[in-house]
Structure 1
């Protein structure tokens, strides 16, 4: 089951188990059951601290992990390989007494959660975002005896997927009710179940003294800006909804210079590790909602807290563009999807559509064609924008059809899930329909500047922040970088360079601008409050 290299790595990890654990395996005669049985047997043979038993569980195949003599609280329904192999290794280590590197304050918060929490997470083994959720919930189950978690491979348990109308992963259920969909971090999950967490965090953030550089956004641009600013020895903070931004949803990266191939989550992990080597205050799970200009720029957060800085760098990135047609929002997560790598396996053997004929759209079609019955690509223009090599590959695949000059006008559904779409042939103006179970939208990005509209900052007609060659915006002590700006090309490596430029621009501004007297700033704030 495990190749020699993987076995060697696993053997090294299992040396860290200090408390005996037990694997409880439920199998039948199916091929996946036999694979799981082989995997469990190999793991048990690799450590004297691991024992193995067989029983009949609610789901088969499945494997539960627990300290010997303790009822299991962590289960894997399916074969935890692919992206989920790391989740399995961590579950073994944490169940076996190896301490987690998680922030002790978060662990303490988990221990003190009241009530019973029974989590179920539906995943696909090709989903790069699913392991973050699985690992977070497994850790919570390890720390708090009132929490249980089971990972469920949606491809193996299609009856449950159909019954619960699951068309997007990860999909998390808590005590039988839908809890959330998409990537969630451990702090996000904890804050969602801990009602008072947001108020405590807001109070903590509001006590922070003003920073010399305050960076809003945790993607490549924000990370680069934080590193360059911190290296100048100035007080720096980074605040973001999540570290990594859009890159966390990127599967293969082949154009990052000096690295032949990597994946989004791996690159983000490296970025985060690099930032943490410097004296940077990092605040995640925080959404900026307002910007107020002044000697100290104020950034208002959704939870009511306010952070301020002598200079601010905006690197809030971009998000997937939506079609904005009837039915899209109603069936989002019920057939309308934006990540083919994550959600593609849920449509195995079904017919799907891809909206968009650029590189991302044609790449999605090629990937999906190996999983689904048929892919229909709809492109608004009369020509495809994808690279010729991708177009040739797509045309060579018998289960991909490409329709050009097609304007999608409606997502059709039966009240529970997508059943098709309607489009207009732009050459004949004829309205046509395509029957599909899934629609993957791949039509580009829009900048995350909704919170800035109507404010003092100048935006382009496309909603992008306008900057100069130094990253300076229309406000002298506010800078911007990355996909949120009006730079012509949206690429990871360009965003990193832009973040570095913005940090150097901010530093140059700081050394040329006298720091405002604190008393004067406080007086101005009081006048503003009473005006």
Structure 2
């Protein structure tokens, strides 16, 4: 199951086990079970601390549970966790085996102190780069707290449950049999939803922070670069971010980051955070900025939690998010057939009819990828012609199960109350309204900057981007900006990193030129 290189790497990891790991398998004579058993046997052969036992029955087949003698651990993988989830399996083996997790001590203490019974089920797909964050967070919680159970389920192998539970996107989480959440979540976000006092404790801790010299708002490539450059100057630096990594977390393959021939978004995001944490930087994750105000000697950023932070200078690196169509029904059917990530959610639509909205490179690439999974793809483009590179267009037109509609405007998402059943669209050439029956819609029409909270505070472009000069300075002295939220052209990771570094150097130059004693209080 595992090749020689993977076995060599895994053997080295398993040398870190501090206590025995018991694997209990639940299998039948299906191909999925044979694959799972082959994987488990490969793992067993690599460490004398691992034993394997065949279980009887089992809620799901194929599946296997991990535990260790003397510990009350409830952690199960249902399926064959390869692809993006292989890392989740390795981490689970290490943590069950007593290897200390890489997490803040306060977070580990919060997990251990949580009271109650929580049975989590996470539905993932092997091609989803967002799913491992959720799986790994809940696995860690299951290892640390006996009241928490976690089952990670490969939706491709349990399609009847996918249909019955109406799982239309991954990751999707159920808690005690009821829907809990969908999309990327870390342990902090999960705890905030189940620990009633977590939000107030976090807000109190943020309010207690002393003023910063530089506060970076946003944790993507631009924000991370800004934080590193600021910290290296020896000034008090903070980062407040909704999710560290930003839009990079939703990126599948990255092959144009100079000196790094190939990486994946989540891997790069982890590297960014690790680099920032190498310095004396206060990171406040899971927080969203809501208001910016000038104060004596600096600025105050108020968060949606009600907490606030003060700083002498600011670097805004809030990035961007998927642009929505803005038509009736779209919000009602998010994660119920309306999706944005073809790599993550595509496998859930195997054998179904779907539409891709958008004829640029992202839309055409999504249509090509999905055409290999679904029954039929309809690509809908507003303009008279597709805008994607010609090589992509040729590939798309060569596919027999793809229909291309140009001069077409989506007017409504249709559904039956629980899932998407079709869409309405207008033929812009003739004005006719038409219906298209389908089961999924993937929206690929670009990005919109996360700057709504700044309206009326500093100058924004007509597209909502923060207007910056060649130094990253905004219209508000002492406030700088970088990355996809700005007017800087070409939204690329390497450019965002450079812009973040430049904004940080400009902020430091601003600070050293302030009159002595003029700082945020």
Per-residue CA deviations over 1:123-154 (Å, capped at 9, x if unaligned) read: 00100010110011001000001110000111
1:394 maps to 396
Q: CA deviation at 1:5?
A: 0.5
Q: CA deviation at 1:517?
A: 4.8
Q: Go from structure 1 to structure 2 and tell me whether the alpha carbon gap of 1:306 and 1:165 turns closer, same or farther (over 3 Å shift).
A: same
2:440 maps to 438
Per-residue CA deviations over 1:430-466 (Å, capped at 9, x if unaligned) read: 111221111000000111011112x321211211111
Whether the 8 Å CA contact 2:73–2:142 is kept in 1: the answer is: no
Which segment is superposed worse, 401-410 or 60-69? 60-69
Q: CA deviation at 1:488?
A: 2.6
1:528 maps to none
Q: CA deviation at 1:403?
A: 1.0
2:365 maps to 363
Whether the 8 Å CA contact 2:73–2:143 is kept in 1: the answer is: no
- Of 422, 425, 441 in structure 2, the residue corresponding to residue 423 of structure 1 is 425
SS in structure 2 of the partner of residue 483 of structure 1: coil
SS in structure 2 of the partner of residue 64 of structure 1: strand
Match runs of 1:491-506 below 5 Å: 491-506=492-507
Match runs of 1:59-98 below 5 Å: 59-68=60-69, 72-98=73-99
2:39 maps to 39
CA distance in structure 2 between the aligned counterparts of 1:503 and 1:125, rounded to whole angstroms: 38
CA distance in structure 1 between the aligned counterparts of 2:5 and 2:58, rounded to whole angstroms: 31
CA distance in structure 1 between the aligned counterparts of 2:42 and 2:254, rounded to whole angstroms: 33
- Name structure 2 gaps, 5 residues minimum: none
1:283 maps to 284
Match runs of 1:243-262 below 5 Å: 243-262=244-263
In the superposition, the TM-score normalised over structure 2's length comes to 0.97
Q: CA RMSD for the aligned pairs?
A: 1.3
Match runs of 1:480-495 below 5 Å: 480-495=481-496
CA distance in structure 1 between the aligned counterparts of 2:71 and 2:464, rounded to whole angstroms: 55
SS in structure 2 of the partner of residue 205 of structure 1: helix
Whether the 8 Å CA contact 2:72–2:146 is kept in 1: the answer is: no
Q: CA deviation at 1:499?
A: 0.8
- Of 349, 358, 365 in structure 2, the residue corresponding to residue 347 of structure 1 is 349
Per-residue CA deviations over 1:392-435 (Å, capped at 9, x if unaligned) read: 11112222221111100011111111111111111111111221
CA distance in structure 2 between the aligned counterparts of 1:259 and 1:359, rounded to whole angstroms: 22
2:3 maps to 3
Which segment is superposed worse, 52-61 or 253-262? 253-262
SS in structure 1 of the partner of residue 231 of structure 2: helix
SS in structure 1 of the partner of residue 157 of structure 2: coil
CA distance in structure 1 between the aligned counterparts of 2:231 and 2:510, rounded to whole angstroms: 15
Q: CA deviation at 1:257?
A: 2.0
1:195 maps to 196
Q: Which runs of 4+ in 1 moved over 6 A?
A: none
2:27 maps to 27
- Name structure 1 gaps, 5 residues minimum: 523-531
Q: Go from structure 1 to structure 2 and tell me whether the alpha carbon gap of 1:472 and 1:398 turns closer, same or farther (over 3 Å shift).
A: same
Match runs of 1:205-354 below 5 Å: 205-294=206-295, 295-354=297-356
Whether the 8 Å CA contact 2:355–2:440 is kept in 1: the answer is: yes
Match runs of 1:51-200 below 5 Å: 51-55=51-55, 56-68=57-69, 72-200=73-201
CA distance in structure 1 between the aligned counterparts of 2:423 and 2:207, rounded to whole angstroms: 48
Q: CA deviation at 1:281?
A: 1.3
Residue 483 of structure 2 corresponds to residue 473 of structure 1: no
- Of 378, 381, 384 in structure 1, the residue corresponding to residue 380 of structure 2 is 378
Q: CA deviation at 1:356?
A: 0.3
Which segment is superposed worse, 298-307 or 131-140? 298-307
- Of 428, 448, 451 in structure 2, the residue corresponding to residue 449 of structure 1 is 451
Q: CA deviation at 1:328?
A: 0.4
CA distance in structure 2 between the aligned counterparts of 1:69 and 1:229, rounded to whole angstroms: 47
CA distance in structure 1 between the aligned counterparts of 2:358 and 2:21, rounded to whole angstroms: 49
Q: CA deviation at 1:72?
A: 5.0
Whether the 8 Å CA contact 1:65–1:92 is kept in 2: the answer is: yes
In the superposition, the TM-score normalised over structure 1's length comes to 0.96
Per-residue CA deviations over 1:75-133 (Å, capped at 9, x if unaligned) read: 01110111111111111111111111211111111111010010000000100010110
Q: CA deviation at 1:177?
A: 1.1
- Of 399, 403, 406 in structure 2, the residue corresponding to residue 404 of structure 1 is 406
1:527 maps to none
Q: CA deviation at 1:258?
A: 2.3
Which segment is superposed worse, 10-19 or 349-358? 10-19
CA distance in structure 2 between the aligned counterparts of 1:66 and 1:207, rounded to whole angstroms: 40
Q: CA deviation at 1:276?
A: 1.6
Q: CA deviation at 1:69?
A: 6.2
Whether the 8 Å CA contact 2:379–2:405 is kept in 1: the answer is: yes
CA distance in structure 2 between the aligned counterparts of 1:72 and 1:502, rounded to whole angstroms: 47
Q: CA deviation at 1:35?
A: 0.5
CA distance in structure 2 between the aligned counterparts of 1:446 and 1:516, rounded to whole angstroms: 39
SS in structure 2 of the partner of residue 482 of structure 1: coil
Q: CA deviation at 1:336?
A: 0.2
CA distance in structure 2 between the aligned counterparts of 1:254 and 1:396, rounded to whole angstroms: 25
Which segment is superposed worse, 15-24 or 338-347? 15-24
CA distance in structure 1 between the aligned counterparts of 2:69 and 2:492, rounded to whole angstroms: 50
CA distance in structure 2 between the aligned counterparts of 1:468 and 1:228, rounded to whole angstroms: 19
Whether the 8 Å CA contact 1:123–1:153 is kept in 2: the answer is: yes
Whether the 8 Å CA contact 1:64–1:72 is kept in 2: the answer is: no
Per-residue CA deviations over 1:17-44 (Å, capped at 9, x if unaligned) read: 2222211111111111111011112222
Q: CA deviation at 1:166?
A: 0.7
CA distance in structure 2 between the aligned counterparts of 1:145 and 1:160, rounded to whole angstroms: 26
Whether the 8 Å CA contact 1:293–1:475 is kept in 2: the answer is: no
